[in-house]
Amino acid sequence: MTKVLVVGGDGFLGQHVVRSFERRGYSVEVQSRRTGLDARDEAAVRAFLGSSKPDILVNCAGNVGGIAHTSKHLVAVYEDNLLIGFNLIRAAVGCGVKKFVNLMPNCTYPGALEAYSEERWWDGPLHPTVMTYAMPRKALWVQSWAYRQEREFRSIHLVLPNMYGPGGHFDESAHALGALVRKVMEAKANGSSEIEIWGTGRPVREWLYVEDAAEGIVLAAERYDDIEIMNLGRGEGCSIRELAELIADVARWSGEFFYDTTRPDGAQCKILDVKKMKAVLRWSPPTGLRDGISRTIEWFNENKEATKDLASFRER
């Protein structure tokens, strides 16, 4: 039986990746700082992989969050993500892992682009608001490429948009969708008629339901074997203003949003070109945004107590 190790497998994305692999009959092991493996410690990673001997290693670990989180923790975000990926790849090569699955955010694309097609991944600088998060992930591709040239190390590199869904992050440091769900539900509960949103509301973002993301990752691990990156998403976007109004409509909250334009917007548009994904995987994410938001709100209402104390410094 093929053995899969998911590092960060008890985090938001990781737990869904684990379940998707298990549904397909894989033997799956989960490790993270919570379970005792700090991937920033190279010796610890080497020792663990040497004893575990997984066939496939999926990197779902990272210091993650939205612009608010990243801007407050520039050094930690950069160093943590660089060390985690660097150590995992070196250990995977040394311990005979057959395939490494590297997951990257869409902010690894040049900041000035609006449509993200794979052949343009190197066509410009990163957006400054996400540089310390995006650059370490991009560096992992270079590291993997070098090992492929010298040691025939197999790895795939998947670029994903912002994710949302059950088990997600809903605090102030979360990406916009999770933070907006929390704000709307709290406003509804408290009888508030106004909600503040950072920025102008004009930036366009793509959102991928987390269960769809997990399924796509497993399919890619099975069907894709090229060092070149592949986008994984729906290929559709909406503005932050449209997103807020959709969440309010699904939640049946009739208040108003006001926008703090002194806060940063980030890149103006981030939408993935997913033609390659559809051709290679013969699959598209099935969950539409309205349906996904409805499921997310339902999960939030059932688990609101568990979401109150989320820390802004996380590993997923």
- A 10 A CB-CB count for 197 gives 20
Residues belonging to the active site: 133
Closest CA to 87 of 13, 25, 10, 33: 33
Place of tokens 């033997």: 27
CB 185 within 8 A of CB 304: yes
- A 10 A CB-CB count for 206 gives 22
Closest CA to 262 of 180, 314, 197: 197
Closest CA to 61 of 86, 98, 43, 44: 86
**Treating both helix axes as pointing N-terminal to C-terminal, what angle do 74-94 and 42-52 enclose, rounded to 10 degrees?**
40
φ, ψ at 30 (rounded to 5°): -115, 135
